[in-house]
Structure 1
Amino acid sequence: MLLSPMIKRFFSTGGVHLKQVTFRNLRGKKVSSQQWLARQLTDPYIEKARMMNFRCRSAFKLTEIDDRFRILQPGFNVIDCGAAPGSWTQVAVNRVNANGKKHDDRRGKVISVDRNNFHPIDGAIILGNSDFTSAETQEKIKVYLGQERVDVVLSDMAPNATGIREMDVENILNLCYSTLRFALQVSRTGASLIVKLWQCKESKQLEDDISKYYEDVRVMKPNASRTDSAEIFLMAREFKGVVAP
């Protein structure tokens, strides 16, 4: 559907802020570009992210999950996989007190990894230009952990889309299983895990596999996740530990 050259929308972000957004000079742009601009400028989570100094709107996905289940606590150690541009890391740093701003609480640790470089975040250990799935990167993470165990492993990783559904599903499942295998190595008993994947029939097998190691596994679709997006999250709590054969 074509958008008119000038579109005015009013929207509220949590009843706190009201802003008028105006499109101008859209004539000649592709329909897809007009629709993308409309979504960007009228999405309340984008506006809230700006107001709260989050690097992108995805911060509210993790915020919503943690507000409900309280998996991020002061003093916790967190691994953030696929962290760029850093919004999940920002949430994690604040909630586990990795930046030490809550002087009366224990100070946690956040290690953030991404194949892309991204700007530093106060309180986080940033491993940019690092492929989480590589053995080299995982060894680096273990060095930073030292003798400590991990309380939460987060993965907002997603592969570059190929346009071939079967291949895209296989690629994101591979990322999920890579995250799970690493979590089994470094997590303390009782730890939590969050991984992102696409809605697909294969997700049930992944859920079952995670359930072998965690007491409680749930499929999540946060309100901040766009309705036209196929993304879902598997959230697992209460890591059972791994019994050596």
Structure 2
Amino acid sequence: MWKCLSLPKFRFHASATALKKAPLKLKGKSGAEQRWLVRQLGDPFVKAAHSQNYRCRSAFKLLEIDDKYDVLRPGLSVVDCGAAPGAWSQVAAQRVNAAGERPDLPRGSVIGIDLLHIAPLEGAHFLSNQDITDPATHAALQRLLPQAQADVILSDMAPNASGLRELDHERLVSMCLSLLELADKILRPGGSLVCKYWDGGLTHKLRDGLARAFRDVRTVKPKASRKESSELYFLARTFRNT
């Protein structure tokens, strides 16, 4: 899913001063659109994404997770689910040396999947306009992955927001649970999975499912994930593959 440019459920109130300082392109937009744009303009991670040529601010969430937990290493094979616009694939490609920029290190691979089109990226192979839950997509991954197996599954995917918090939470949990079926098919024993979820009544169901499949499951809240957001990540490591 396109996670960076679509408008979320708005709970922020832009001040009159901020709106006055905002560019003229805000004129003609709804109040919700104005508040979102003003927030983006003042977001240090948005600015950093532009200055460091990342496709989206979400890159810094994965960077922080990897810096702390060492999920991505040169030579690993990574599947990025819900990859558009490609920021997590950018990070993964750098960290696993998918483009071979470090000839002294093992060369990994990155495959990104999304229902939307993803612009090409050096070091990554994208399966655009494809559904991660489709068995045909699973088969394509098995053909593309070295030895038909991945070391890491990443997921920053999310459903299009309905505006109903519990419904959106349930839909995202369902999407995350579908990754367990994917893991059974492609994840190497000992592999890792990182998935975004929105906290809510079914969080325990997702945690329990991950705990059955992985030896270590923990909750992570990167600094780039806004404090007021219910967004969290599960980091699941040491896939059992039983």
Same fold? TM cut 0.5: yes
Moved more, 187-196 or 97-106: 187-196
Tell me the distance in 2 between the aligned counterparts of 1:198 and 1:213.
20
Structure 1 residue aligned with 2:22: 23
Tell me the matched-pair count.
229
SS in 2 for 1:38: helix
Whose Rg is larger? 1
Give the AA of the match of 1:51: S
Q: Residue 99 of structure 1 aligns to a residue in which SS?
A: coil
Instruction: Kindly state the Cα deviation for residue 163 of structure 1 after the two structures are TM-superposed.
Output: 2.5
Structure with the higher fraction of residues in strand conformation: 1
Q: What is the correspondence of 1:101-112 to structure 2 with a 5 Å cutoff? A: 101-112=101-112
2:15 aligned residue: 3
Q: d(CA) in 1 for partners of 2:158 and 2:114?
A: 11
1:229 to partner: Cα distance? 1.8
**Structure 1 pair 230–116 and aligned structure 2 pair: CA distance change class (3 A):** same
CA distance in structure 1 between the partners assigned to 2:99 and 2:163 by the alignment: 40
Q: Deviation at 1:60? A: 0.3
Q: Runs of 5+ in structure 1 lacking a partner?
A: 9-21
Per mean C-alpha deviation after superposition, the further-off stretch among 31-40 and 127-136 is 31-40
1:153-164 aligned within 5 A: 153-164=153-164
SS at match of 1:216: strand
Moved over 3 A (4+): 5-8, 24-31
The code of the aligned residue for 1:127 comes to: L
Structure 1 6/208 Cα, relative in aligned 2: closer, same or farther at 3 Å?
closer
Q: Which residue of 2 aligns with 1:40?
A: 40
How far 1:165 sits from its partner (Å)?
3.2
SS for the counterpart of 1:78 is strand
Code of the aligned partner of 2:80: D
**Offset at residue 211 of structure 1 (A):** 0.8
SS at match of 1:80: strand
Counterpart-to-counterpart distance in 2, 1:27 and 1:119:
30
> How far apart are 1:181 and its partner, in Å?
1.4
| Structure 1 residue 180: Cα displacement | 1.6
Task: Give CA deviations for 1:26-83 in whole Å, capped at 9, x if unaligned.
Answer: 6775433332222111100001001110000000000000000001000000000000
Amino acid at match of 2:61: K
**Residue 235 (structure 2) pairs with residue 223 (structure 1):** no
| Percent identical residues | 45
- 1:206 equivalent in alignment to 2:203: no
Uncovered stretches (5+) of structure 2, i.e. residues with no partner: 1-12
Is the 2:219–2:233 contact (alpha carbons within 8 Å) kept by the matching residues of 1?
Answer: yes
Hey, which of these two has a bigger chunk of helix by percent? 2
1:49 is aligned to 49
Cα distance in 2 for partners of 1:224, 1:164 equals 24
1:237: which partner in 2? 237
Q: Normalised by the size of structure 1, how large is the TM-score? A: 0.87
Question: Which residue does the alignment assign to 2:4?
Answer: none
Match of 2:7 in 1: none
Secondary structure at the residue paired with 2:144? Answer: helix
CA contact (8 A) 1:56 1:87 kept: yes
Alignment partner, residue 120 of structure 2: 120
> TM-score, with normalisation over the residues of structure 2?
0.88
Deviations 1:109-135 (A, max 9, x none): 111000001110101111001111111
The Cα offsets for residues 171-215 of structure 1, whole Å up to 9 and x where unpaired, read as: 111110111211122111211001111111211121122111211
Amino acid at match of 1:209: G
- 1:92 aligned partner, one-letter code: A
| Equivalent in the alignment of 2:8 | none
Letter matched to residue 152 of structure 2: V
